[in-house]
Amino acid sequence: MEKILVIRYGTIGDSIFASAFYRELRHALPDARIDILVDEIAEGVMRNCPYINKIFNIDGKFRNFWAYISLFSKYDTVYFLKNDKFFSTIAFLAGVKKRIGFDVRRNKFLTLTSAYNEDRHEVDCYLDLLRISGIPVKNDKTEVWLDRINDSKAQEIVSCIPNKKVLIQAFSRFPQKNWLDEYWVELIKYLSNDLHAQVFFVGGKKDIKAYNNIIANINDDLDIVPLDMCGKLSIPETMSLVKNMDMVIGIDSGVIHMAAALDIPSVLLHGPTSLVRWKPRSEKCIVLSRHFSCSPCCLQSGSTKYCKNKISDCMEYLTPDIVINTLNDKFRSRKIA
């Protein structure tokens, strides 16, 4: 039996993009042992994945050097969906025969490499690692995996709400991705008072104050007060809540990719990131974007293109009327009912 370890840690969106890789790998090698090494965020996405055998959590690096050597030595193949010099060195020292990853930063410890092409979608880059391994790829659709307990909790939250349900993710760890607070004020007023929709906020505990600031700036009464779920839901619980929405509206962050994987209609308020690399994989996602000569900038440390403005021009010029007109057409036509 072939034993495979896959390493992909980081953001929710990247973990969802990797779902296509795990599915295609499992379909090609149904009898293989496929384990993954992830961080806490990726573990939340991957917890109910049917394509893997076991999840190992990253617990430090150098202080657990010998533990990682022992772990890696059990595998025939390690796939690096994230370039990591420490773990590729560990795989080499542990004697892993096939060490497969991206041809970046001249990683000499890999035995097989694929180009990490910024002109290709992240999902396709991951799947290229399978293709160079001789593994066929038949489907590039992303997935997330739910369970009954979290589904039941989400259904309890929405069961008494007769109105259309709209989930909002307004904030990212990169402030240049964020829409303006005053724009969210206008949009929430429209959703509540004109469309009579129940708005939900999602995010971490760190986002509670930011959402409170938005609500504090709404001078008019709202017909339906938003429900703030920030810091109250785990990643799996958030995915189940997304499943129960009529629409998701958000900036380029993890929740918009949950909606895409679940085929929930969504509106992406897109700014400085690359649509070629990170666009949600869904025909039900409407992308609203204002292109500038500097677009896209990658928002990565060390990048030659990095937005220096706290508020990106591309987000500032994506005004509320553009979003409201789009939503009005969708709701009035009942396409998301």
Which pLDDT tens digit goes with each residue over 92-136?
A: 999 999 999 999 877 789 999 999 888 899 999 999 999 999 999
One domain for residues 63 and 23 = yes
Q: Is there a domain that residue 139 lies in?
A: no
User: Does any domain span residue 141?
Assistant: no
Same domain, residue pair 249 and 159: yes
Average pLDDT along the chain: 91
Q: Are residues 54 and 155 in the same domain?
A: no
Q: Are residues 99 and 161 in the same domain?
A: no
Final residue in a domain of this structure, among 96, 131, 166: 131
Name the β-bridge partners of 251. Answer: 269
> Do 97 and 8 have their domain in common?
yes
Q: Is residue 142 part of a domain?
A: no
For residue 52, give Cα distances in angstroms to 41, 59, 177, 238. 17, 20, 33, 22
Q: What is the pLDDT of residue 335?
A: 47
State whether 53 and 88 are in the same domain: yes
Per-residue model confidence as pLDDT tens digits over 36-57: 999 999 999 999 999 999 999 9
- For 54-93, what is each residue's pLDDT tens digit? 999 998 888 899 999 999 999 999 999 998 999 999 999 9
Pairwise CA distance, residues 99 & 282, whole Å: 32
Of 77, 96, 131, the domain-final residue: 131
Tell me, yes or no, whether 255 lies in a domain.
yes
CB 109 within 8 A of CB 89: yes
Q: Are residues 236 and 110 in the same domain?
A: no
Q: Please indicate, yes or no, whether residues 190 and 313 belong to a single structural domain of this protein.
A: yes
Identity (one letter) of the amino acid at 287? Answer: V
- With respect to residue 136, please indicate whether it lies within any of the assigned structural domains: no
At residue 104, the pLDDT reads: 81
Q: Is the CB of residue 229 less than 8 Å from the CB of residue 205?
A: no
State how far the alpha carbon of 161 is from the alpha carbons of 154, 168, 227, 283, in Å: 12, 17, 11, 27
* Beta strand pairing call for 247-251 and 165-169: parallel
Helices and strands in the chain, H and E counts: 14, 12
**Are residue 121 and residue 154 in the same domain, yes or no?**
no
Share of the chain above pLDDT 70, in %: 93
Same domain, 124 and 54: yes
Same domain, 193 and 316: yes
Q: Between 53 and 272, name the one with better pLDDT.
A: 53
CA distances from residue 133 to 63, 101, 211, 231, 303 in whole angstroms, order as listed: 32, 10, 46, 41, 30
Q: Which of 112, 138, 118, 143 is nearest to 127 (CA)?
A: 138
**Which residue(s) pair with 94 in the sheet?**
none
In a domain, 14, yes or no: yes
Secondary element (H or E) of residue 102 = strand 98-102
CB atoms within 10 A of CB 138: 8
Other C-beta atoms closer than 10 Å to the C-beta of 210 total 16
Residues 200 and 317 in one domain: yes
What is the C-alpha separation between 102 and 91, in angstroms, rounded? 15
Q: Per the structure, how many domains does the chain have?
A: 2
Domain C-terminal end among 131, 161, 196: 131
CATH of the domain at 229: 3.40.50.2000
Residue in 229, 230, 236, 266 with CA at minimum distance from that of residue 249: 266
State the residue range of the domain holding 62. 3-131
Instruction: Classify residue 53: in a domain, yes or no.
Output: yes
337 within domain boundaries: no
62-66, 135-139, 187-191, 296-300: range with lowest mean pLDDT: 296-300
- DSSP letter (8 states) at residue 61: S
Between these two residues, 76 and 310, which has the higher pLDDT value? 76
pLDDT of residue 221: 84
SS3 of residue 70 by DSSP: helix
